A = this chain, B = another copy of it.
Amino acid sequence: MKVEVITIGDEILIGQIVNTNAAWLGVECSKLGLEIIQTTTIKDRKNDIIFAVEKAINHADIVFVTGGLGPTNDDITKITLTNFFGTELVRNTEIEANLEAWFTARGRILSDMNRAQADLPKAAEIIPNTMGTASGMWFEKNGIPVISMPGVPYEMKSMVKNEIFPRIQQRFQLPFIFHRTLMVAGIVESSIAQKLKNIEAEMPHFLKLAYLPKPGIVRLRLSAVGENEVLIKKTILEFENKISEELKNYHYGFDEITLEETIGKILKAKNLTVGTAESCTGGKITHKITSISGSSDYFKGGIVAYDNSWKETLLGVDSQLIQKYGAVSEEVANKMSLGLKQKMGVDYAIATTGIAGPTGGSDQKPVGTVWISIAGPNNVMVQKYSMGTDREFIIERSSMQALYLMWQMLQKI
């Protein structure tokens, strides 16, 4: 099934908003077995909307229209589509009652302008919007659904998942499609490809493996399409296990889970605690760990020891050690993690020291040199990295690598 997406809104064309809706729809449609063949962004202008919809009906099997459904005058999608499909607006009393309830619940009065959001096209199926006040509208022409929905991302996403996709699945005979994403860290794409060469060669034609890299991690998405649900699920499971076994030291979880969440789950389950002693990563590791709800159960605190005197005072790193080996060294990294562990009594301590640049590098220790040390209950693990030359990249990659090493150490308990 071919899908075309039409996005309506000046704010996207002038770059005030990045069109993340399109990317989200791309991912979700392909999971469902729908292929997006084109996305078009146009202005809130009658002729542009009609032209785009007419063109899309001629090319696609399903047309999604997002945006332009607000109550103000500049939003003309509803009236334009109503006229285009030769129908008329009628007051929908059920939606009107919902609007009344929505405004009352928020202590606001339903104005005439907002009440007009209950005026909806007679010939369209009305799609409820549980997150906002603009209803979705399912028009149809020559068997091609043209589905109009709000542009506000969380309203659109909820409507697509809960209302539109189930209707599409009911209306069309879609192939059975199944996905499983393996989350992998601590290894680059090309090395993964090398390791998985034989496994990929064994894969049946209905199974596909996509490499989806993000900074510091690679998502491996297995997808299978077909008629035989049992066979598909069995095959996915079989290859998921093969890949997981081959990438044993790198495969940390499934389906979009982050490293910080995975680590948190292990620590919480085992009633263990962690703290951080960051230098070059400047609080990024701590920020990642504390971005997880419930992290206060296992994360005790962190010290960003930027200045060497902070390393001395708070982590017990001897100034002579810094003089002898330099602040960016194996010795100092280890002393930072061990010092934190000892001083603050955490089970695990994550430490980083490096040169994030653009200044501060030397021939022996160029910008991008980073030492990461993890102190655990029984041992210390330390690694040196060359993280390139871009400050933002060095901070991000070093933080991800530190979390990966932390996960690795937790595998050994």
Contacts and interface: CB of A to CB of B under 8 A. Distances in A.
Interface in A265-291: 276, 282-287, 289-291
Contacts of A37: 13, 42-43, 48
A307 B293 CA distance: 15
Contacts of A239: none
Contact of A282 (B14, B18, B291, B356): B291
Interface stretch (A173-181, A295-303, A330-338, A403-411): A295-303
A60 to B, nearest CB: 12
Nearest to A43: B37
A360 to B, nearest CB: 8
Interface in A73-127: none
A153 interface: no
A305 interface: yes
A160 to B, nearest CB: 13
Interface string A4-36: 000000001111111110111111101000001
A337 to B, nearest CB: 16
Nearest to A22: B19
A286 B23 CA distance: 31
A15 B32 CA distance: 13
A304 to B, nearest CB: 4
Q: Is the contact region of chain A dominated by helix, strand, or loop, or is it mixed?
A: mixed
Interface residues on A, range: 35 or more
Contacts of A276: 283, 304
A391 interface: yes
Contacts of A283: 276, 283-287, 290, 302, 304
Contacts of A55: 55
A393 to B, nearest CB: 12
A240 to B, nearest CB: 21
Nearest to A30: B14
17 contacts: A13-B37, A15-B25, A18-B23, A19-B19, A19-B23, A38-B40, A38-B41, A39-B41, A40-B41, A282-B286, A282-B289, A282-B290, A283-B284, A283-B286, A283-B290, A302-B303, A310-B344
